[in-house]
Each structure stands twice: as C-alpha cells, then as structure tokens.
Amino acid sequence: MSMTTKQVKRAFKYRFCPTDAQAAELSRTFGCVRKVYNLALAARSEAWTLRQERVNYNATSAMLTSWKKTDELAYLSEVSSVPLQQTLRHLQGAFGNFWQKRAKYPAFKSRKKSRKSAEYTTSGFRYRDGKLTLAKMSEPLDIVWSRPLPEGATPSTVTVSQDPAGRWFVSMLCDDIPATMPQTTNTVGIDAGITSLVTLSTGEKVTNPRFERKDRARLAKAQRVLAKKARGDGANRAKARRKVAKVHARITDRRRDHLHKLTTRLVRENQTIVIEDLTVRNMVKNHFLARAISDAAWSTMRGMLEYKCAWHGRDLVAIDRWFPSSRLCSACGTLQGKMPLNIRMWTCRCGVTHDRDVNAAKNVLAEGLSVTVCGAGVRPQRSSPGGQSATKQKTPRREP
C-alpha cells in the first residue's frame, strides 16, 4: 500500500442559499471589494507613471484607512474590512506575477464582467459545530453540505462567490491528507483528441461527450433572446442574461464532472501517466477548431492530473509537443512521411497496421518512459530527414 501522508491545502466548495439580508450584505461587499481593488490599482499605476515609485501592500492599506474617512467613500466602513484587506493582498500578488513575467499587467475589475467574490480570513468568520457565520452577519449561512469537511479540520480562509447564473457558493480552504491509493506498476500513455477525448496506450478510447455541442441549440436560443433585449440595466435584459449563464453553467458543470471521474480513474489505476505538452492557447487561435478544442478542455484535464498525481504519489510525465507520435511506428520505430488527418488507419512498411490514435498513445508512453529513465524532463525538438520539424499533426479535423 502507498503510504501517502503528505498534508495539502484543499478547497471544499458548497452551494448555499442566503437570506435576503445576507444576499444584500454580500452584494455590498462584492461592490466594495471591486471598488477598493480599482482604487488601489489606479493609485499604484499613477505613482509609477508620474513618479517612478512602487507602492506596496502596506501603502495601499494605509490608503484604505484614509478612503474610509472621506464622505465619498464612507460606505466602505459599512462592510467587513477583512475582504477589503484581502483584495489588496491579491493585487500585490498580481503585481508580483507581473514583475516575474508570469502574467500581464493587472486590469481593472468591471462591474458587469468581473467575478463576484470576497475572501475572509479567520478574523472574518466563525466556524463552530458545522455552522459558518461571516462577519457583519447574525445568522449562519444555509449551506448544502454535499460532503463533509475533513475530520477536525478548521477552515483557514473562506471565499464567498456568486456566479453569473445567480448561484451562491462558499469555498473553504482546509488542511487535508489525501486518501492513500494502492501501489501499482501500471503505466499509461494518453493521446488527446476530439472524436475520442483520450486514447490510452492500452487501446481504450474514451468518447468525447461534446457537452457544448449537445446544448448548442439551447444556448443559441438563449443568446438570440438576449440580443433582442434593449441594452442597459433593465430587469428583462438581466433575466435573459441569467438564462444564458445557466446554459453555460450546465455545460461547464457536466464537463468538469466527467473530467473529474476520468482523471480520478486514471490516477487510481496507474503509477505513471504520460501526456503530451500541448499548447492549447496557440491551438485555439484556429477559429475553425477553437470551439471543439475548448469543449474538449484539455488544459483542465491536465491540471486535474497534475494535482491529483501530486496528492497521491503518482508520476506525471509531459513529453515534447513536437514529438511525432502519430507518424512513428510503435512496432519498428520507422518515421513515416506526411500523414493527413483523414488517415485514421495506416500500415507501416514492416507490415503492422496501426490505428492512428492508439499508435500515438503507445509512442507517447514509450517516449515518456525513456525520458524518465534518462532523467530528462521533456525531450528536445527533433527534425525530420528533410530538414523540417518532425511535428505531430495534432490539430484535429474541422468541427462541423
């Protein structure tokens, strides 16, 4: 048995139904969080542009105190100060990512488009006897406990949010020790695709549910209704916008549920998982394929595999995206010439007939195991005999 005892930070997300007073309080808090973030961002940008001066978190925290004393921004004192301080820390983190060239320059939060959320630290909430009460509230939140928190766990932070569909969520960050998984010697290579979401080196193909395409007619109808509404802040337009958001939420929820079940099974059954290091961001620039690629959600699947493997002591190997897995014979290692996407079955000169996706998955596994033995992270780019890059033709066929 694998003796995984590593403690990790894990978020447990639940839906809840606020009272009218709680909903009003949280809506005010969301607005104040957005306002403070924008004010602090404007102050930091102005200080750097005019005086070449960097303003840190401590300075913006002092600014927040002075803003509350003005008549124009006195309403900031009506909500809990904890989420306001937290949004200043988030802004500091955003600037840190920008300076380290991990992200773009922080952007201002839009009232209509930005995510409605507020984060509370331990001084901003009370969790006792399975009941969560936030600051400035007299009653606990009516949470739908779909699963229990870890035994004896106490949340370190609580994030309350409302999605565009109008649903309320609370996410509690707790220390947790992931469940142990049996040790195994199984290995698997994964070839991602469109028709088959993934093809495994074992020959198994997992069909792509195409959740977005299944609800495309419903989504199109809701969007047409929204487009006919008069622009502005009217109630009818807001109602139509929520209907569109509900369709999107249905698609997203079903897709994530399917990916969670798939990735959990792969991690449970295999000790080593090999995938390709695909650049989905570049692939979706092809406007003919962007919708199908986004619906497959390869990046989301990889993210799930990464943290689940880290939790349960599994090995995840990502091979070079330029590795020609589709054109390499898994039996004799011969590299074929150009192979159009309409060729799904092909025969090598050694006489072996391959299914294109299964062959690719076998090559992905072999390549991942070889670079693991050699101690390398990702195999460098290889060139074909003609001098051109021996790239794998990963872009799938055009989505109808």
Is 335 part of a structural domain of the chain? yes
pLDDT in tens, 150-174: 888 899 999 999 999 999 999 999 9
How many Å separate Cα 293 from the centre of its chain? 15
Mark whether 94 and 152 lie in a shared domain: yes
Above 60 in pLDDT, residue 39?
Answer: yes
Mark whether 271 and 194 lie in a shared domain: yes
Dihedral (CA of 94, 309, 190, 338) sign: positive
Q: Is 276 one of the annotated active-site residues of the chain?
A: yes
pLDDT (average), residues 256-265:
96
Q: What is the CATH number of the domain that holds 306?
A: 3.30.420
Mark whether 131 and 202 lie in a shared domain: no
Residue-range definition of the domain harbouring residue 313: 187-209+259-374
Residue 311 · residue 6 · CB < 8 Å: yes
Instruction: Name the strand (E) or helix (H) holding 359.
Output: helix 356-374
**Which candidate in 25, 191, 295, 320 is catalytic?**
191
pLDDT (average), residues 53-80:
95
pLDDT (average), residues 12-33:
96
Mark whether 49 and 162 lie in a shared domain: yes
Helix (H, G, I), strand (E, B) or coil at 252: helix
Is 367 part of a structural domain of the chain? yes
Is 72 part of a structural domain of the chain? yes
Global confidence as pTM: 0.83
**Which candidate in 119, 212, 276, 367 is catalytic?**
276
Instruction: Compute the half-sphere exposure of residue 120: CA atoms within 13 Å on the CB side of its CA.
Output: 25
In the beta sheet, which residues pair with residue 158? 120, 172
Is 221 part of a structural domain of the chain? no
Domain boundary among 176, 199, 218: 176
Mark whether 191 and 104 lie in a shared domain: no
Q: Is 163 one of the annotated active-site residues of the chain?
A: no
**Which candidate in 25, 212, 295, 357 is catalytic?**
357
Mark whether 42 and 111 lie in a shared domain: yes
Q: Is 191 one of the annotated active-site residues of the chain?
A: yes
Is 254 part of a structural domain of the chain? no
The residue among 343, 344, 262, 245 whose CA lies nearest residue 296 is 262
pLDDT in tens, 334-376: 888 888 777 888 888 888 888 888 999 999 999 998 877 665 4
Mark whether 74 and 139 lie in a shared domain: yes
The answer to which of 10-24, 163-177, 380-394 has the lowest mean pLDDT is 380-394
Dihedral over alpha carbons 178, 87, 253, 179 (to 10 degrees): 0
Total domains in the fold of the chain: 2
Is 118 part of a structural domain of the chain? yes
CA distances from 150 to 8, 157, 179 (A): 12, 15, 11
Mark whether 202 and 118 lie in a shared domain: no
Mark whether 79 and 203 lie in a shared domain: no
Mark whether 277 and 350 lie in a shared domain: yes
Is 383 part of a structural domain of the chain? no
Mark whether 163 and 272 lie in a shared domain: no
Mark whether 159 and 197 lie in a shared domain: no
Is 241 part of a structural domain of the chain? no
- Burial status of residue 325 (CB atoms within 10 A of its CB: 0-12, 13-18, 19 or more): buried
